[in-house]
Structure 1
Amino acid sequence: MLEKTMNVSEKWKDPKIGLMFFGILILGIIVVVALTRERIVSPIDNQVTVTGQGKVAYQPDIANVTLGVQVEKADSAENALKQLNEKMNNIVAAIEGASVPKKNIQTQAYSLYPQYDFKNGASVVSGYGANQQLSIKIEGIQENTELVSGVITAASSAGINQVTGISFDVSSVSDLKQQARIMAVADAKAKALELSNVTGTRLGKIVGWYENAVGSPDPQPLMGLGGSAMDAKEVSPRIPSGTQEIVVEMSLNYQVK
């Protein structure tokens, strides 16, 4: 009996047998991992994805306008800032007088810099410039279609010489997106039913979904509306906001029976 035990022990000491056992162990681990991964990655093999789209048109009720003042060739940095501040105080007062609350007026950029001329082969300081840009949020433009042009005209009369951009938005964007989302789901379900009828495939329950919002308002730049030296009646602009769309796509994953 002792001799048999010793023979078995000696066999396990054989390198070939050890390598064979190790190889079988590794192979078993690989098989287990592969089976487990298959269950995790592909829990449901038979699925189909159907995408629907929902569109909701709306008229913007908010305008965001960017305007500013540029001061050129002041004889000192101090005077450049002084001129800029005087103009901007008048402009802000004019904008507030055009029914824009103070909380909707925000400085977007502010700069002071030397200006140069090229003389005798060298750059020399010829003056100082200053610039301030304001971002103006104008609400209620559906009720008062002349509100945006009125604000720009008032600011122009007070001294602005730059209007660098305008974009439109809507205050009820969450509600509009929800409407578009519901329409997109209904569209996807209708397409799924049609697909099932055409292919003769039985679709089961919805096992997943994802959303893609593909529509959003685009900024509409507006340039060159003049400065304080121009007659306000002559520079009063027409600012149509138009109609825009929110577009939402919903993709539904169905089981295939």
Structure 2
Amino acid sequence: MDELQNNKQKCDCGCKCKGYMILGGFALIVFVCLSVFLIGEARNAFKKYDYIGKSAETPNTISVSGEGLVTATPDIAKVDVGSSSDAYSVAEAQVKNTAIMNGIIAAVKKLGIDEKDIKTKNYNIYPKYDWQNGKNNIVGYTVTQALGLKIRDTKKTSDVLKVAGESGANQIGSLTFEIDDPEQLKAEARTEAIKNAKEKAEALVDSLGVKLGRVISFSESSGGGMVYEGYGLSKGMDTLSAPAPEIQSGENEIRSNVTVLYEIL
């Protein structure tokens, strides 16, 4: 019986030892895997730290500018017409100026200017002062109003200016001749500018002994138009028989300037 118990105890000890060995081996495997993972993460973190502040490699580039120009005859004219009236009271100045402006509107409408092409641009009332006995005294008021006119038949521009003056306008200015829808002309000018820039770039890379690569960046600025300096009519000027001024619309220039950055190979 004693021998049987001894054998049983030996068996239990052996099983326990084997269990401990298995657990120890498993723990060792986990430790090794965890250590490898942590070493890898530390290495990656070190690489990231090592590259902080270092920019990506910049390609070799060449920058060229190009210009495109398209001319066209303007199809609309724009002008500002207005009146300024003085009176002792605000109401009196308003009555005087309103009568003049309504007359101007009626006159230009008779020439075919549509309601949608007549726009009030400003309306102002301010006092007039006279310095007397060491102080400013209000001696009256001034009322001004200005209209913006769009003239779709440019041949009528001179007539519009004439009837505006005859109707009492004493402020006329900001005359411009424009293309009502310039987008197609702008596109044509841009195409010419890009072509001009590419021709310059190709000539440069031939001289440098390199090849032209892809476009890295592109920018554009555009402009054009024709503006006449405004002219005014003095308040005391007789405009009843004023002749129609000679106004020439000429041609407008639609200009595009581009800057293209190319990669060189």
Q: Scaled by the length of structure 1, what TM-score is found?
A: 0.78
Question: Cα–Cα, structure 1 residues 68 and 244, in superposed 2: closer, same or farther, change >3 Å?
Answer: same
Rounded to whole Å, the distance in 1 between the matches of 2:245 and 2:253 is: 25
Are residues 1:97 and 2:110 paired? yes
Q: Deviation per CA, 1:217-242: give whole Å up to 9, x if none.
A: 25322212466963455342122222
| Structure 2 counterparts to residues 24-173 of structure 1, below 5 A | 29-35=48-54, 38-39=55-56, 42=57, 44-72=58-86, 74-141=87-154, 144=155, 147-173=156-182
Q: Deviations over 1:148-191 (max 9, x none)?
A: 11111111111111113212211231011100111111112211
Q: 1:25 & 1:175 partners in 2: Cα distance?
A: 55
In structure 2, do the counterparts of structure 1 residues 150 and 227 end up closer, same or farther at CA, with 3 Å as the change threshold? farther
Residues 84-111 of structure 1, C-alpha deviation per residue, up to 9 Å, x if partnerless?
A: 1111111110111121111111111101
Cα shift at 1:32:
2.6
- Aligned residue identity for 1:165: S
Q: Is the 8 A contact 1:225 1:235 kept in 2?
A: no
In the alignment, the residues of structure 2 paired with residue 138 and residue 54 of structure 1 have an alpha-carbon distance, to the nearest angstrom, of: 29
For 2:133 and 2:243, the matched residues in 1 are separated by 41
Q: Deviations over 1:194-222 (max 9, x none)?
A: 11222221222x23332322432253222
Does 2:225 correspond to 1:221? no
Instruction: Supply the AA of the counterpart residue of 1:140.
Output: D
Equivalent residues of 2:226, 2:252 under 8 A apart: no
SS, match of residue 52 in structure 2: helix
Q: Which amino acid aligns with 1:256?
A: I
Query: Are the equivalent residues in 2 in contact too, given 1:106–1:134 (CA < 8 A)?
Result: yes
| 1:29-48 CA-partner distances (Å, limit 9, x unpaired) | 5423234xx22xx4x41222
The worse-fitting range, judged by mean Cα deviation, of 176-185 and 206-215 is 206-215
Q: Does 1:249 align with 2:257?
A: yes
Larger Rg: 2
Structure 1 pair 161–27 and aligned structure 2 pair: CA distance change class (3 A): same
Residue 242 of structure 2 aligns to a residue in which SS?
helix
What 5-or-longer segments of structure 2 have no aligned partner?
Answer: 1-42
Deviations 1:51-103 (A, max 9, x none): 2211112222222111111001x121111111111111111101111211111
Q: Give me the whole-angstrom Cα distance separating, in 2, the residues matched to 1:119 and 1:193.
A: 75
Q: Does 1:194 align with 2:213?
A: no
In the alignment, does 2:244 pair up with 1:236?
yes
List 4+ stretches of structure 1 deviating above 6 A. Answer: 24-27
- The whole-number CA distance in structure 2 between the counterparts of 1:76 and 1:227 is 18
Separation in structure 2 between the aligned mates of residue 122 and residue 255 of structure 1, nearest angstrom: 71
Contact 1:91 1:159 in 2 (8 A): yes
SS at match of 1:152: helix
Is the 2:219–2:260 Cα contact (8 Å) retained in structure 1? Answer: no
Gaps of 5+ in 1: 1-23
Identity between Structure 1 and Structure 2 (%) = 30
Could you say what secondary structure the match of 1:34 adopts? coil
Q: Of the candidates 175, 187, 190, which is equivalent to residue 178 of structure 1?
A: 187
Q: Give the whole-Å Cα distance in 2 for the aligned partners of 1:197 and 1:190.
A: 11
SS at structure 2 position matched to 1:234: coil
Helix, strand or coil at the partner of 2:113: coil
- Judging changes above 3 Å, is the alpha-carbon distance between structure 1 residues 78 and 166 closer, same or farther for their aligned structure 2 residues? same
